Amino acid sequence: MYAGSREIEYIDKIRGLTYEEIANRGGGILNSALRLHEASEDELVEQALPRLREIMMLGTGAVEIKSGYGLNVEDELKMLRVIRKLQSLVPLKIVPTFLGAHAVPPEYKGNRRNLWIWL
C-alpha cells in the first residue's frame, strides 16, 4: 500500500541514478513515508481499492501488502487498520507483511544509537 506513485523513480533508476541521488531529489522511501504519514486512513483505502479491484479483474486471488513505510508506531498501526479495512471490502486474500527498516526515520538521522528504541 502506498500514498502516491513512485513510478518516475523507475525511469531515474534506468537512467542510472542511485537510490541516494533519487532521495536527494526528494524521492525515495522517505518521500513515501511522508506521503503515508500525511494521508488519512480513508484516503489510503480510497487509493488502494481501485488497484485491488483491477488486479482481481486480472485474475489475482491473493496479494501481499507490506507495511514498514510508517517509520513510527502510529503510522504502522494506521497501515494495519487500512489493511484490515481493505480485507473487509474485497473478496481478495490480503496478506499483511511487515518489512521494517526501510529507511532511518529523519528524526534519528545522526542519532542511530537511539534507533533501537523505535524498532
Instruction: Please give the pLDDT value at position 91.
Output: 95
Class of domain 7-118 (CATH, top level): alpha beta
pTM: 0.79
Intra-chain end-to-end CA distance of the chain, in Å:
21
pLDDT tens-digit map of 56-109:
999 999 999 988 888 888 999 999 999 999 999 999 999 999 887 667 777 777
CA-to-CA distance for 3 and 46, rounded, in angstroms? 10
CA-to-CA distance for 89 and 31, rounded, in angstroms? 28
Instruction: Please give the pLDDT value at position 38.
Output: 93
Instruction: Please give the pLDDT value at position 28.
Output: 80
Per-residue pLDDT band at 33 (split at 50, 70, 90): confident
